Structure 1
């Protein structure tokens, strides 16, 4: 990349510093959050009060300057000499918020006051990785724009690219759904509508509407809400028969594991992470990208242990951020291999905050990772009905990932 191009794109750190300044965030940790209630008066009461925005208006691009920052290289490189995916997830999550802030233009906002909005990540719809393997000593370009908006929600598409031999190569594309909240994070806040500037933006906006409906349908049909269909029930029953070899009614309590199979409860891994002030976002809660990185690295370790090969991450789908996590929380992460097919593994990770004084846990996030290895892997088999539902949920996610991959070919 030429010097002129590097000057053209600010570093991600500079973009983050600019955002912190707009939000009125001061350097240094204060456990008592600043009172932002005075900013409520500047928020609109209807979308008509806000000017419409095109997708180009929210476009932002920046650099992760790995070629010149040696300390940054140490943070991003793996022991295999590759780029840590978890670090990239952190950057993309933070960058999506920057894009959302650029989209919002509020005529009521005084120049001498911090931004009256709070932006939080609601979910990560999908991240698909290409075959390109990024290098830890070359700059990575990150860019994105708002691709759809509701009344108080925004979909942001983010790309990562790296230059090699004069050509930019796509590393990944991610879709984030962000929620706009008021200055005290106590209620939804209205955002600018999109007015497409051309046919391409019109098509992207239409796709955003379709993705919104698809997300709604997935939630409605989730195994926790709707009974599995007949084909899925038969699948679970066939798995059950394979593990019982029933000869009489009295023998059904004896479960046997078929060859080249592993019980789901034996294909799990857990850890506990203690969150510190350095892991906080601009809203003084634990940064969502930090949780994503911890989940990705735990899932990779489990995939390595399960398959005996270093797994390659192919897709991340349907990451839900159910509630914010306070700085200083004990965060429990539980990873499971929930479905396997050929040389692919589908992993599910649950994040919980744990209170050691009461022993209570509250689930805050769910993650779905699809990994590939060079050889066939053992089949993962559920033992209980609860595990069977995790198996079906993982299978659905895997099939959707494969369907999307096929459509792109």
Structure 2
């Protein structure tokens, strides 16, 4: 049975030209405001899907729901003449923030979405998850999703222009423009092509000395110098998993649903942090999620998690998603994640064991380091 969305796309009159943004009615933030409920408190079967082995809520499941709900939010915003209906795909996730309020597994969760910025063929949707505490709705997570409108043939499709109608909406749109500029800066970052500064050298050298446990520090003996307890090499901080991309996880284009990739990356990085810190971590922030290319059904998904930086009891992990074509052996990177966790105890000090490890891992983009530092400052 064909999907209703595909049927509506095919109903576009033969030979009808694509619509330009000027031909579409302007829309407001209020036009896109939608709500939904995750019935954890009222549906036991649903609750079991979201409950972890510790009795807490699986954050990866919530991330998956937020990605799906961002598409629904854009659907509420878009308004086309009969016969025109775009498909919406996730291109980027920005500022995925988790508040100090941890989700309770026996209470319903409310999702709230609204469109906060539009380009020519892309939209930004803010999605929040909230839970009732007394008489107040407390925000659990908040994220901004950048989505692209496409035709059935994967061609760009122009979207309605967002028009602010109140001073509050003007601030919302202005903040959306600032995030758009930040994304451009991050995409144009060339820090890995530049020589490290003296401050960066000093930081790495200080971290290296902190890993030594004494003994003979002459150059000839450094490879055998004992390491201080609580230190980990980058190469020893990795965790990898490999899964096939199955049809149950597909989207409208027969490629893997972005929310499923997000859940897999979060659960792998959480397990990696648990193994290195010997305790259950709490996800605090996701600095960067890039969807570089779609993942076809039937390919192998290889997820690599690595702890790249620690400070106090905060840990930053990088998750790279690679796709391998089983028949040819060709491997390409499709997604990159940077996640910040917090533990009750001090995190191990990670140190590189190669030049590339120093600069591609410890000294990532300045924008990402700034995000990590902000989280540590606010929550530390």
Which digits, 9 at most, give the CA deviation of each residue in 1:188-232, with x for residues without a partner? Answer: 221111110100110111111111111111222243454444422
Aligned to 1:265: 235
Q: TM-score, normalised by structure 1?
A: 0.84
User: Which of 151, 159, 167 is equivalent to 1:199?
Assistant: 167
Say if 1:43 and 1:116, in contact at 8 Å, map to a contact too: no
Matches of 2:330 and 2:136 in 1, distance apart?
A: 52
2:158 equivalent to 1:190: yes
Query: Does residue 285 of structure 2 align to residue 325 of structure 1?
Result: no
Q: Which piece of structure 1 moves more, 224-233 or 75-84? A: 224-233
CA contact (8 A) 1:263 1:380 kept: yes
TM-fit CA distance, 1:384: 1.0
CA offset at residue 347 of structure 1? 0.3
Please state if 1:181 is matched with 2:150: yes
Seen in structure 2, the aligned counterparts of structure 1 residues 406 and 43 have a Cα distance that, compared at 3 Å, is: farther
Q: Does residue 400 in structure 1 map to residue 375 in structure 2?
A: no
Distance change (3 Å), C-alpha of 1:225 and 1:218: farther
CA–CA distance in structure 2, aligned partners of residues 261 and 56 of structure 1:
51
Within the candidate set 159, 182, 188, 2:128 is matched to 159
Counterpart for residue 320 of structure 2: 350
* 8 Å contact kept, 1:337–1:347: yes
CA distance in 1, matches of 2:52, 2:379: 29
Where does structure 1 lack aligned partners over 5 or more consecutive residues?
A: 1-19, 26-33
Matched, 1:291 2:265: no
Query: Which of 83, 97, 108 is the aligned partner of 1:128?
Result: 97
Instruction: Report what 1:235 is aligned to.
Output: 203
> Could you tell me whether the CA contact under 8 Å between 1:346 and 1:394 is conserved in 2?
no
- Render the CA deviation track for 1:325-376: whole Å, top value 9, x for unaligned: 1122210000000001110110000111112333221111001110000111
What is the DSSP-based 3-state SS (H/G/I as helix, E as strand, rest coil) of the residue aligned with 1:98? Answer: helix
Cα distance, 1:227–1:57 mapped onto 2, change above 3 Å: farther
Q: Is this contact kept in 2: 1:286–1:325, CA < 8 A?
A: yes
Match of 1:60 among 25, 34, 40: 34
**CA deviations over 1:245-281 (Å, ceiling 9, x no partner):** 8645xx3983756413210000110011122211112
Q: Secondary structure at the match of 2:163?
A: coil
State whether residues 275 and 327 of structure 1, in contact with CA within 8 Å, keep that contact through their aligned partners in structure 2: yes
After TM superposition, the score normalised by the length of structure 2 is 0.90
Supply the distance in 2 between the matched residues of 1:306 and 1:211 (Cα, whole angstroms). 33
Residues matched between the structures, number: 373
Counterpart in 2 of 1:49?
A: 23
In structure 2, what is the Cα distance between the partners aligned to 1:201 and 1:291?
32
Which structure 2 segments of 5+ residues have no match? none
Matching of residue 365 in structure 1 with residue 340 in structure 2? no
Q: Secondary structure at the match of 1:393?
A: coil
Counterpart CA distance in 2 for 1:76 and 1:256 is: 46
Q: Please say if residues 116 and 183 of structure 1, whose CA atoms lie closer than 8 Å, have aligned partners that are also in contact.
A: no
Please, which of 77, 83, 92 is the counterpart of residue 103 of structure 1?
Answer: 77
- Give how far 1:42 is off: 5.7
Q: Contact 2:308 / 2:361 at 8 angstroms: preserved in 1? A: yes
* Cα distance, 1:85 vs structure 2: 0.5
Q: CA RMSD in A?
A: 2.7
1:308 aligns with 2:278: yes
Tell me: CA distance 1:123–1:49, structure 2 relative to 1, closer, same or farther (3 Å).
same
1:36–1:183 Cα contact (<8 Å) kept: no
Alignment check: 8 A CA contact 1:339 1:395 kept:
no
Range with greater deviation from structure 2 (90-99 or 280-289): 280-289
Q: Is the 8 A contact 1:243 1:256 kept in 2?
A: no
Could you tell which deviates more after superposition, 209-218 or 222-231?
Answer: 222-231
Does the residue aligned with 1:254 lie in a helix, a strand or coil? Answer: helix
Q: Residues 29-73 of structure 1, C-alpha deviation per residue, up to 9 Å, x if partnerless?
A: xxxxx97997783631x3211111111111111111122222211
